Amino acid sequence: MCGVVGIVGKSDVNLQIYDALTMLQHRGQDAAGIMTCHEGRLAQHKANGLVSDVFRTRHMQRLVGNYGIGHVRYPTAGSSGPAQAQPFYVNSPYGIALAHNGNLTNTEEVERDLLQNDLRHMNTDSDSELLLNVFAHELLEQNKAKPLPADFFNAIRELHKRVRGGYACVALVANYGIIAFRDPQGIRPLVYGSRETANGTEYMIASESVALDVSGFTIERDVAPGEAIFISREGELYSEVCAEEVSLAPCIFEHVYFARPDSIIDGVSVYKSRLRQGERLADKILRERPDHDIDVVIPIPDSSRVAGQALAHNLNVKFREGLVKNRYIGRTFIMPGQQQRKKSVRQKLNTIELEFKGKNVLLVDDSIVRGTTCQQIIQMARDAGANKVYFASAAPAVKYPNVYGIDMPSASELIASGQTDEEVCKEIGADWLLYQDLDDLVAASKDGNPDIDQFECSVFTGEYLTGDIDDSYFARLEAARSDSAKAKKIDNSDDTAVIGIHNGAVE
């Protein structure tokens, strides 16, 4: 999962992009980058690390211009070296940079076509670079010295025909402005807003609405599935749906885990959807165990806190913060390597013993993926003196890999893959395990916007919207996403980006 932002303003936008990226930091902690344009000259800085670590005053002073784009990354496709940091850049036509959230599912086909037919060189193994080169080629095919909005839309129209998967992108075109586009199913989120100033209207496009909130932008609406939005450097906005077949099917895991609770995605409040998840979990407990003996509900911070509060309220039992989080440890879900994840859980959480000792505790988490985290936390609860430890997941059992932009592990590393609920319960060491029903999870999100056609739920169902996922694809995924494969990528990653640009110069 990654975060993207693009701004067209009336003055330098570097600080606004920086602020927006800090609000999107939860979407990627591997790398960050910003590119701006001033009088046709591009300035860029990107590197591995958190936003606050990547950018210093000297970098911000170079990032001048009234329009620009930014990106925070964790690796989904490709290795994790600094050469993979975004935005990516090509000089022809016009000078284009692109930042991408998502994952393509037909990368081999697209790369082969780019190399053999379009004669374009790939410098990395990132599908984001593929997207950039497809867009650049199709824009070049328009054969315009000075492209109009229709030319950008025509290029995106051809791009949709060539690529499949989940993608939400912002691209900067030197001297012209910013264009943003979203995949035809709207799998990955993208929203835009405006802000009135004394000099005119400014626009921001971002992965989540919280990025707009921090700078005082008012949400206009979500970018529609298959839609492209072009904002000229003068601040004129144009939009057009460029895909032939569209339907709104956003990724439901955004509501479960990734998005911030204060975001609104496709008209759905993430906070309210998580409240409803907790309410429906409580209903299931009361159906299955009306005489339950739960003394206290304790959430596993942070993304399960809202659901846990609603669950405890509806069960009429105490809600307590029994686990204290070290906020200087990254999200263990996205950490490569099982041993590193195990170590991080102990560093990340500590128990408040008095909330566990002698009690029947219901731990609530947003989901169970590998089972590493919940297994250790259950043992921590027992070590703190809990009498019984129950475990509730606000999401159904995760049994299948995600292929649209979430770095879910291979199926062999998913604890629920090929196992019953009872077997998972025994493996994680709980006295009782409760999963959310899929219908309840979907309803918890759909209640916020009944106009949503469906949700992308492939990690629970194994049904993939693009229709191009087969056994051979999973075999390649297994080779790329297993812990051993990621360890090799980390060992082989270079400390220096091969190609970068600052102030329009190659370095």
Q: Is 201 exposed, middle or buried (0-12, 13-18, 19+ CB in 10 A)?
A: middle
Helix (H, G, I), strand (E, B) or coil at 149: helix
Cα angle for residues 449, 453, 459 (degrees, 5° grid): 100
Q: Which two tokens stand for residue 320?
A: 């307590």
Which positions ≥6 away from 474 have C-beta within 8 Å? 401, 410, 411
- Backbone φ and ψ of 85, nearest 5°: -65, 145
- Please give the Cα distance from 321 to 315 (Å, whole number): 17
Q: List Cα–Cα distances, 358 to 246, 354, 385, in angstroms.
A: 54, 9, 6
- Rg over CA atoms, the chain: 23
Looking at 2, 169, 374, 457, which residue is catalytic? 2
Closest C-alpha among 107, 14, 25 to residue 71? 25
Roughly what angle, to the nearest 10 degrees, separates helices 372-383 and 338-348?
A: 40
Is there a catalytic annotation at residue 37? no
Q: Which two tokens stand for residue 23?
A: 């609000």
- Please give the Cα distance from 246 to 328 (Å, whole number): 41
Closest C-alpha among 268, 259, 171 to residue 211? 259
Q: Which two tokens stand for residue 357?
A: 């000792």
Q: Which residue has the tokens 């860029």?
A: 44
Q: Which two tokens stand for residue 251?
A: 């990724």
For the annotated catalytic residues, the residue numbers are: 2
